Structure 1
Amino acid sequence: MIRMLLRVLGDEYAPPVRRTITLMTVTAVVEGLSYALLVPILRELFGADPAAARPWLLAFAAACTLYAVLRYRSDLSGFRVGTTLLRGVYHRLGDHLARLPLGWFNSGRVGEVSTLASHGVLQAMSVLAHLLAPLISAAVTPLTIVVVMLAYNWQLGLAALAAAPIVVAVQLWAGRSMAATDAERHARDREATGRVIEYLQAQPVLRAGGRTVERFDLLDDALHDLQRASRRSALSALPGVIGSALTVQAIFTALLTLGAYLALGGNIGAAELLAVLVLAARCADPLLSLAEMAGAVRSARAQLVRLDILLHTEPLPEPDHPIRPARYDLEFDSVTFEHGDRTVVEQLSLTVAEGRRLAIVGPSGAGKTTLLQLIARFHDVTAGAVRIGGVDVRDITTTDLMSQIAIVFQNVYLFDGTIEENIRLGRPDATDAEVRAAATAARLDEVIDRLPGGWSAHVGEGGALLSGGERQRVSIARALLKDAAIVLLDEVTSALDPVNEAAVHEGIERLMRGRTVVMVAHRPRSVHRADHVIFLTDGAIAAAGTHTELLTTDTRYAEFWGASTATGHADLSDARGTLSMPRVGRGSPL
């Protein structure tokens, strides 16, 4: 487990842990050696001159004092290092999660990451503060005592040494017997956490359907499964605990019998026998505590294993020889992208000239948002290449790539802070004047004027205290402040009321001015702004041209547009499934 702990901490945080482990090991050895003084003490006390035991008693007192000081220092070091490293591990975990490809974050990992980032990290780091010292003491002190026993009587020492593999075997057997139930309990815990999150997110739907007083069956089933798995895990621990206790007691009894036999045969004196039995009894205590700690140790080690797996999940590779593009035109060169067993984009080729605007139109599931994500390198393509200014995005560092791209998504997430803090995410070193200019350009100033607190008004977690249109204005102001050369828009007005839509469109127009723009367009107003339109179906380009050209020359595009407007929906993706559109040419220049 210690090796796994060091792997999880990494090279940056491992040295203080090694120092703490060394101090704890020295403490455990001193504890074991202090018991060696019991033999001369008891020999003198049972001898002809009990006063001769005084020097040994003083030495024993000094050894106990040294042990107390070392124990205090090692425990304090464990608490301090554990507290310090808890923050370090959170930083390392956060940095690593930020580098993982977006495709890694599927819905099944919501509960897993939530549990691991909260309970898992705390439990893993509690090893340093609460488990490491007693664990090292339970392993090292008995071994030191066995060495002491060998020094005073080789028969009893060998007997104690021979018992060590038996204790280890019992512990390993207990661990293996619990492995399956522990894994099941973790899986159920992850499932239950995911269902709790799902239940909270589903509150608007449940309340709209008048189901606030009904039980949520999926959550109930997950909690019942977790309860049953926890019960099985607890029951599976009993054989190991009982087996360890019986083994230790049986070994102690065997040593007692052997000591009595040697004493009766005159091989050892009564003082030596009493001292050795005291050593054996002291050796049994940490072994019994080791059995009691086994469950906590296994649970902590399981969390460390999960942390290790997560921290060693490969992020998208950074280029060995990075190139910074000098232009901002875009190119998809025979791009294929597969997600799981599904081909989302297949052999797609297109170009967008610098400073031009491309609108991507198509039914839901056609791969529109995926194209934006490939430009921003949220995923790596399966085949082909995505280029900016003729440079493959895989040859651009993540920092340089993201500095050149401003992204505005339909669903905006704001951090729990002030409006100004959320805008500054676009460029933290911006001046106050630049922040306010960006807010004015996004027509956010009129929102700020009517909010209590103005610029200091808090937006709530996720921006919950603002409306959808107000959150979009913050997002646009953030993008304007960033002043990136490439703008990616995933239809940002599809769910807005007319007033907010007009304001957001005005801000978007300022954002797009003079920049290379790729937008997922669901509304006529957005499509009319584009210099070029591609009609995407099943990850391939079915038609390409201007909006006016496609309405007159491509019947499928016209039918798709007509189906959308006929049903009264401006969102073109609502027409999914109403038309059958075969693929045509896969390439489109702009």
Structure 2
Amino acid sequence: MIGLLLRVLGNEYAKPMRRTVALMTVTAIVEGLLYALLVPVLHKLFGSDPAEAWPYLLGFGGAVAVYAVLRYLSDVSGMRVGTSMLRGMYYKLGDHLARLPLGWYDSTRVGDVSTMASKGLLAALGVAAHLLAPFISALVTPLTIVAVMIAYDWRLGLAALAAAPVVAVIQKWTARSSAAVDAERHERDNEAAGRVIEFIQAQPVLRAGGRTGERFGLLDNALQDVERTSRRTVGAVLPGAVSLTVTVQVVFTLIMVLGTYLGLGGDIGVAELLSILVLAARCADPLLSLSDIGGKLRGARVELDRLDTVLRTAPLPEPAEPVRPESHGVEFDSVTFKHGDRLVFDDVSLTVPVGQRLAVVGPSGAGKSTLLQLLARFYDVDAGAVRIGGVDVRSMDTEDLMSRIAIVFQDVYLFDGTIEQNVRLGRPDATDAEVRAAASAARLDEVIDRLPDGWAADVGEGGARLSGGERQRVSIARALLKDAPIVLLDEVTSSLDPVNEAAVHEGIERLMAGRTVVTVAHRMRTVRRADRVVFLDGGKIVEEGSHDELLLQGGRYADFWNISTAATASG
């Protein structure tokens, strides 16, 4: 467990961790030796002059004080190491997640990472702070007490030592039987949590459709799965816990019977026998706690394994000698790309000269958004190359690449903060005048003027306190402030009302001025203003040319145009 923890976190934590383990081990040994003083104390108390027990009682008190200091120091050390590791792991996980390809973040992984970064990290890194000391005490203190018992009477000591291999076998058996159930429990917990969130978020739709009963059934099924898995977890752990309890009780009974036999035979005194029985009883408590501690440690190890899996996920490789392009034309050269088992692009080639606008149209699932993602290097192509200014994006430093690209997505995400903070994400060092100018160009100033708090208005998590059109204006202002030479637009007006669409289009026109633009669009206003249009379908460019040229061809694009304009007219 400690080895895995250090491997996940790094060797810089090895020295304080080893120091903490050593301190906890010494504390556990002192705790065990402490009980050795009970033998002379009881011997004197049951002797002819009980007053002779005072020196031993004072020694026992001094030993308790030493143990208390050691226990305090070991607990503080464990807490410090645990919090230090937790902070280090947050930084390490955050840095690694920031280097993973954005295509890695599907909906399932986002949920897993969210759980891992909260509950998972606390469980895994809480080992040093909360579990390590009781675990070491549960192992070392009983062994020390057994050593003391052997020193006083080897027969009773060996009888107590007989429990050690049995306890080890029980712990290993319990861990093996619960491993599969623990994994299933984690999966069921995640599924149930997702269903709860889904049920809450879908309330408006469910109530409008009168389908709350049906959807509650899905949630109820997920919760029933959790219940069934919990029962299996108890079923897997309970035999081990019962076996451990029975083993400890049997060994204690054996020691008591053997001690009674030796006492009746005169081989051991009453005081010594009582002391041995007290020591044996003191062994029982930490041994019985092993079942609970072992379960928590197994849970922490599962979380560490998940963390290790994420940290072992290879990020997109960075070039050893990055190349900086001199211009900002865009080129797709014989690009082939698969998403899982699905072929998205098959030998696709196109160019966008500096300062020109390319519109990408086609049916749903044709790969339009993926084209933008490849250009921003959310993924690496399987064959061919994506170039900016003649330089393969794989040969560019990631920060340099992203500094040259401004992206406006269809679904805008805003961080929980003020409007100004979200706009400044485009360029944090921008002056107030530059921020205001970008907001004015995006017509965001209209939104700010009608909000009570103006620039200091809190947008809420994900921008929930703003409408879709208002969030788009924040996103465009952010892109304008960034002032990148390449602009990628992904259907940014597909779900806006006419008023917001007009405002957003005005901001987009200012954003696109003088820049290299690749835009995915369904609205024909954007397509008509493009210098060139490509029609994607089936992983290939079916048609390519200007808007007027493609209309004259009367092909797929012309059909798409006619359907779109008819739908707009009827609306």
If the length of structure 2 is used for normalisation, what is the TM-score? 0.92
Partner of 1:355: 355
Measure the CA separation in 1 of the matches of 2:314 and 2:142.
42
* Superposition deviation, residue 16 in structure 1: 4.4
The SS at the match of 1:384 is strand
Letter in 2 for 1:38: L
Shift of 1:84: 5.0
Q: Aligned-pair distance for 1:414?
A: 0.8
The whole-number CA distance in structure 2 between the counterparts of 1:52 and 1:366 is 93
Could you tell me which residue of structure 2 aligns to residue 564 of structure 1?
A: 564
Question: How far off its partner does 1:270 sit?
Answer: 4.4
- Greater Cα offset, 144-153 or 437-446: 144-153
* Secondary structure at 1:452 match in 2: coil
Question: How big is the shift at 1:534?
Answer: 1.2
2:389 is the counterpart of 1:378:
no
Q: Does structure 1 conserve the Cα–Cα contact (< 8 Å) formed by 2:439 and 2:474? A: yes
The answer as to 2:122 corresponding to 1:127 is no
Report how far residue 60 of structure 1 moved: 2.1
Which residue is equivalent to 1:64?
64
Instruction: State the AA in 2 paired with 1:394.
Output: R
Q: Bigger shift: 322-331 or 344-353?
A: 322-331
Q: What residue is the counterpart of 2:336 in the other structure?
A: 336
The question of whether the paired residues in 1 share the 8 Å contact of 2:150 and 2:158 is answered with: yes
- Confirm whether residue 183 of structure 1 aligns to residue 183 of structure 2: yes
Opposite residue 506 of structure 2, the aligned amino acid is: E
SS of corresponding position for 2:93: helix
Which stretch of the first structure deviates more once superposed, 170-179 or 140-149? 140-149
> Does residue 1:487 correspond to 2:483, yes or no?
no
Cα contact 1:115–1:193 (8 A) shared by 2: no
Give aligned-pair identity as a percent: 70
CA deviation map 1:2-32 (0-9, x unaligned): 3333344444556544443333222112111
Alpha-carbon deviations, 1:535-590, whole Å to 9, x = none? Answer: 1112211111111111112522212222222333899xxxxxxxxxxxxxxxxxxx
CA contact (8 A) 2:414 2:461 kept: yes
The offset of 1:514, in angstroms, is: 2.0
Match of 1:219 in 2: 219
Is the alpha carbon distance of 1:445 and 1:320 closer, same or farther for their aligned partners in structure 2, counting shifts above 3 Å? same
The match for 1:30 is: 30
* Contact 1:485 1:515 (8 Å CA) reproduced: yes
- What is the CA–CA distance in structure 1 between the aligned matches of 2:415 and 2:134, rounded to whole Å? 42
Aligned to 1:247: 247
Instruction: Say whether residues 1:387 and 2:381 are aligned partners.
Output: no
Between 346-355 and 100-109, the greater mean CA deviation after superposition:
100-109
The CA RMSD over aligned residues, in Å, is: 2.6
Alignment of 1:513-524 (within 5 A): 513-524=513-524
Is it true that 1:444 corresponds to 2:454 in the alignment? Answer: no
Task: Tell me by how many angstroms 1:426 deviates.
Answer: 0.9
- Deviations, residues 43-65 of structure 1 (Å, cap 9, x unaligned): 55556665554443333221111
Do 1:327 and 1:388's aligned partners in 2 also have CA atoms closer than 8 Å?
A: yes
Please say which of residues 102-111 and 206-215 is displaced more in the overlay.
206-215
Indicate the residue corresponding to 1:274 in structure 2: 274
- What is the SS of the residue equivalent to 1:108? helix
The corresponding residue for 1:424 is 424
> Which residues in structure 2 correspond to 1:283-362 (within 5 Å)?
283-362=283-362
For structure 1, which segment, 418-427 or 333-342, has the greater mean C-alpha deviation from structure 2 after superposition? 333-342
4+ residue segments displaced more than 6 Å: none
- How has the CA–CA distance of structure 1 residues 388 and 157 changed in structure 2, closer, same or farther, with 3 Å as cutoff? farther
Give, in whole Å, the separation in 1 of the partners of 2:436 and 2:16: 46
Shift of 1:178: 2.0
Q: Distance in 2 between matches of 1:331 and 1:88?
A: 41
Where 1:448 maps in the other structure, the secondary structure is helix
What SS does structure 2 have at the residue aligned with 1:407? strand
Question: Displacement, 1:315?
Answer: 2.3
CA deviation vs aligned residue, 1:504-545 (integer Å, no higher than 9, x gap)? 112112211222211112122111222221111122111111
Give the whole-Å Cα distance in 2 for the aligned partners of 1:305 and 1:329. 44
> Quick one: which amino acid aligns to residue 459 of structure 1?
V
Match of 1:165 in 2: 165
Corresponding position: 1:236 with 2:256: no
Which deviates further from its counterpart, 102-111 or 496-505? 102-111
Which segments of 5 or more consecutive residues in structure 2 lack a partner in the other structure? Answer: none
Deviations 1:443-488 (A, max 9, x none): 1111111111111111122112211111111001101111112211
AA paired with 2:95? D
Equivalent residues of 2:116, 2:303 under 8 A apart: yes
Distance 2:208 2:545 in 1: 42
SS of the residue corresponding to residue 322 of structure 1 reads: coil
**2:241 is aligned with what amino acid?**
V
Instruction: For 2:353 and 2:31, locate their aligned partners in 1 and report how far apart those are by CA, in whole Å.
Output: 75
Q: Aligned in 2, Cα 1:384/1:353: closer, same or farther, shift over 3 Å?
A: same
CA distance in 2, matches of 1:263, 1:401: 84
Q: Which residues of 2 match residues 57-136 of structure 1 at below 5 A?
A: 57-83=57-83, 85-136=85-136
Aligned twin of 1:404: 404
> Does structure 2 retain, via aligned residues, the 8 Å contact 1:357–1:516?
yes
The one-letter amino acid paired with 2:103 is G
Per-residue deviation, residues 58-113 of structure 1 (Å, max 9, x unmatched): 33221111111121232334345444544443443333333322332223334433
Indicate the larger mover: 206-215 or 135-144.
206-215
3-state DSSP of counterpart to 2:372: helix
Provide closer, same or farther for how the CA distance between residues 251 and 304 of structure 1 changes in structure 2, counting only shifts above 3 A.
same
Change (3 A) 1:196 1:418: same
More displaced 10-residue stretch of structure 1: 366-375 or 396-405: 396-405
Q: If the length of structure 1 is used for normalisation, what is the TM-score? A: 0.90
- 8 A contact 1:406–1:488 mirrored in 2: yes
Question: Contact between 1:358 and 1:530, CA under 8 Å: does it hold in 2?
Answer: yes
**Partner residue in 1 for 2:531:** 531
Tell me, yes or no, if the aligned pair for 1:442 and 1:473 is still in contact at 8 Å.
yes
Q: Which amino acid aligns with 1:313?
A: T
Partners of 2:258 and 2:484 in 1: CA distance: 82
Asked whether the 8 Å contact 1:323–1:395 carries over to 2, the reply is yes
2-structure distance, mates of 1:210, 1:16: 59
Q: State whether residues 359 and 519 of structure 1, in contact with CA within 8 Å, keep that contact through their aligned partners in structure 2.
A: yes
Q: 1:428 to 1:191 in 2, by over 3 A?
A: same
Amino acid at match of 1:23: L
Return closer, same or farther for 1:462/1:546 CA change in 2, 3 Å cut-off: same
Aligned amino acid, residue 332 of structure 1: F
Q: Which runs of 5+ in 1 are unaligned?
A: 572-590
Q: 1:155 to 1:570 in 2, by over 3 A?
A: farther
What SS class does the counterpart of residue 568 from structure 1 fall into?
helix
Greater mean deviation of Cα atoms: 507-516 or 145-154: 145-154
The AA in structure 2 aligned to 1:327 is S
Give distance in 1, aligned partners of 2:383 and 2:455. 47
The alpha-carbon deviation at position 212 of structure 1 amounts to 5.1
- Verify the 8 A CA contact 2:524 2:565 in the aligned structure 1: no
Moved more, 37-46 or 329-338: 37-46
* 12 and 510 in structure 1: CA distance in 2 versus 1, 3 angstrom threshold: farther
Distance (whole Å) between structure 1 residues aligned to residue 6 and residue 224 of structure 2: 36
Q: 1:111 to 1:234 in 2, by over 3 A?
A: farther
Q: Could you tell me how far 1:136 is from its partner in structure 2? A: 1.6
Q: Is the 8 A contact 1:111 1:197 kept in 2?
A: no
Which residue in 2 is equivalent to 1:435? 435
Q: 1:220 to 1:569 in 2, by over 3 A?
A: farther
| CA distance in 2 between partners of 1:381 and 1:208 (Å) | 44
Distance 2:372 2:468 in 1: 22
Number of corresponding residues: 571
Shift of 1:263: 4.9
Residue 107 of structure 2 aligns to a residue whose secondary structure is: coil
SS of corresponding position for 2:165: helix
How far apart are the structure 2 equivalents of 1:69 and 1:352? 72
Q: Secondary structure at the match of 2:568?
A: coil
Q: Kindly tell me: are residues 263 and 110 of structure 1, through their superposed partners in 2, closer, same or farther at Cα, counting changes over 3 Å?
A: same
Measure, in 2, the Cα distance between the counterparts of 1:197 and 1:95: 28
